[in-house]
Chains A and B, each alone.
Chain A
C-alpha cells in the first residue's frame, strides 16, 4: 500500500494492475509506502486501524488483458517462473515456458493458480470491499494525477509485459477468462459501468 497521510488517501494493489508504476510515481511525489504491497485492505486495517479514516483506491483492469499480463509475468520471472514451470511440468505441459500457449495454461489452471501466489486471483479479492473506490485501469495516468494533484512529475510505466511468451488469445481462452473471472466482469459493470 502507498498512502498520503496529509490528504488521507491510499492505494491498494491488486496484482497486475500497475502496482510498480503507481508505487514509483506516488512515492516520487511524497507518498509513503507500507511494506505489505499486495495485502488486502482488511489485513492492512487490522494492522493500521487509522486507515479506516482514509479514502482507499484500487485499479480494475480488463480481466482478459490482466490474465494475459499475469501469464506473461509468470513466464518471464524472475523467481516466480520456476514455480510456474514446475506447475506446468508436473501436469503434463512439456513445452518451454516461452512456447506454452494460453490454452495449455488454462488446461491446468487450478494447479497453476495454487502454485503461483496471487497473480491469477480475481481482482475482486482486493477491490470488492465497501471502503475501496474502484478506478478504471484504462485511465491510470489521469487518475493518478487527479488523486495526487500532481500534473508535472513524469509517470513511467514499469514492469510492463514484453513479447516473450505471447500466445494467441483464442475463443477458448476468452470464454475461460470470462467464466473464471465473472466476478471481475460483474464488478467492472457495477463500479465502472463497463462491459468488456
Chain B
C-alpha cells in the first residue's frame, strides 16, 4: 500500500489516504508518485495537491499526519512536534531522518 497526503494552499496536510499498490504499478518511490497523485486527483479533483508519504518514514522525514506541514525546500514533512528536525541557533531546520530499522531490530 502507498500513502498520499493532501495539502492545502499553505502546504498543511489536511488528509492522508491509502492507495493500492496496483495503482502505483508496484513502483518504488519516487516513480510511484505521479501515478498515485493522478489517482488521488481523479477522486478529489484535478486542482488538489498531493505528496506521497512513507508509513515507515523511508523518505520525506516522517509519516505525514493531519496538521503536518510539507517543507518544499527540504522535501520533507514537518510535524508540529518537529520530530524530524533539530532547530539550530539560526532557526534553520537540520533534517534528521530517522534511521530505517530492520524487522529483527524492532523491539
Which A positions have Cβ atoms within 8 angstroms of B? 3, 5, 10, 15, 20, 27, 32-35, 37-38, 48, 50-51, 54, 73, 76-80, 82-83, 116-119, 158-159, 162
| Given A38-B83, A76-B87, A80-B82, A33-B69 contact (CB < 8 Å) | no
B36 CB to closest chain A CB (Å) equals 21
Q: Across the interface, do B91 and A119 meet the contact criterion of CB distance under 8 Å?
A: no
Complex Cα gap A48–B107 (Å): 6
Partner of B105, one of A27, A32, A116: A32
Question: CB-nearest residue of chain B relative to A15?
Answer: B81
CB of B37 within 8 A of chain A?
Answer: no
| Given A79-B78, A79-B82, A33-B107 contact (CB < 8 Å) | no
Stretch in B27-35, B39-47, B93-101 touching the partner = B93-101
Q: Across the interface, do B80 and A117 meet the contact criterion of CB distance under 8 Å?
A: yes
22 A-B interface contacts by CB (under 8 A): A20-B86, A32-B105, A33-B98, A33-B99, A35-B57, A37-B83, A48-B107, A50-B107, A51-B107, A76-B87, A78-B78, A78-B91, A79-B69, A79-B80, A79-B82, A82-B69, A83-B67, A116-B80, A117-B67, A117-B80, A119-B81, A162-B89
Q: Across the interface, do A32 and B99 meet the contact criterion of CB distance under 8 Å?
A: yes
CB of B106 within 8 A of chain A?
Answer: yes
Q: Across the interface, do A78 and B93 meet the contact criterion of CB distance under 8 Å?
A: yes
Q: Across the interface, do B56 and A79 meet the contact criterion of CB distance under 8 Å?
A: no
Q: Across the interface, do A5 and B105 meet the contact criterion of CB distance under 8 Å?
A: yes
Complex Cα gap A119–B83 (Å): 12
B77 CB to closest chain A CB (Å) equals 10
B7 CB to closest chain A CB (Å) equals 13
